[in-house]
């Protein structure tokens, strides 16, 4: 009997994230140098839950906080969340990320705040959250900005 529907794998949809790092602690240059890093030290439950929601190969905008104040690159999730080995009490998680692509130019926080399509972006609504989910549209808007002269 012909014509049955092929099963389409459902795990091909990537999700989008923004991860913050102080570049003088760990920058995108450091990630490129190291090839892979463990995203550890997250001590906020919402940020931790976001780490736990990350799936292999998800895209993560890499944001430099404190200095730079700009999205500089895209990283990808290379290992999903596992418990963090730590002396700290509590139930924490880590993922691993790898470098993917440096943006053509950094996209600054100032630009993000000024862009009408990014008015509801999590990083503005929750400025102290270090791991934030993005919609595909928000992700694409930032990528488009990076491909447009400042």
Partner DNA sequence: GCCAACGTTGGC
User: Where along the sequence are the contacts to DNA (CB under 7 A)?
Assistant: 20, 22, 43-45, 65-66, 69, 90, 109-110, 126-130
Which residue's CB is nearer to DNA, number 55 or number 113? 113
Rounded to the nearest whole angstrom, what is the least distance from the CB of residue 8 to DNA in the complex? 37
Which residue's CB is nearer to DNA, number 56 or number 127? 127
**How far apart (Å, rounded) are the C-alpha atoms in residues 6 and 118?**
38
Which residue's CB is nearer to DNA, number 3 or number 90? 90
Containing 114, the helix (H) or strand (E) segment is: helix 109-114
Rounded to the nearest whole angstrom, what is the least distance from the CB of residue 32 to DNA in the complex? 21
Rounded to the nearest whole angstrom, what is the least distance from the CB of residue 40 to DNA in the complex? 11
Containing 141, the helix (H) or strand (E) segment is: helix 136-146
**How far apart (Å, rounded) are the C-alpha atoms in residues 75 and 73?**
7
User: For 39, how many CA atoms within 13 A lie in the half-sphere containing its CB?
Assistant: 33
Which residue's CB is nearer to DNA, number 6 or number 87? 87
**How far apart (Å, rounded) are the C-alpha atoms in residues 59 and 40?**
17
């Amino acid at each position: 009997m012909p014509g049955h529907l092929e099963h389409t794998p459902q795990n091909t949809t990537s999700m989008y994230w923004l991860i913050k790092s102080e570049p003088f602690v760990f920058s995108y240059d450091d990630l490129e140098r190291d090839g892979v890093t463990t995203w550890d030290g997250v001590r906020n439950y919402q940020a931790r839950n976001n780490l736990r929601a990350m799936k292999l190969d998800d895209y993560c905008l890499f944001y430099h906080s404190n200095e730079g104040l700009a999205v500089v690159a895209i990283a990808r999730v290379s290992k999903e969340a596992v418990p963090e080995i730590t002396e700290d009490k509590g139930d924490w998680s880590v993922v691993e990320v790898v470098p993917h692509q440096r943006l053509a130019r950094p996209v600054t926080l100032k630009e993000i705040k000024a862009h009408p399509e990014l008015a509801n972006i999590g990083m503005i609504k929750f400025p102290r959250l270090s791991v934030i989910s993005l919609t595909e549209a928000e992700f694409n808007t930032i990528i488009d900005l990076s491909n447009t002269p400042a």
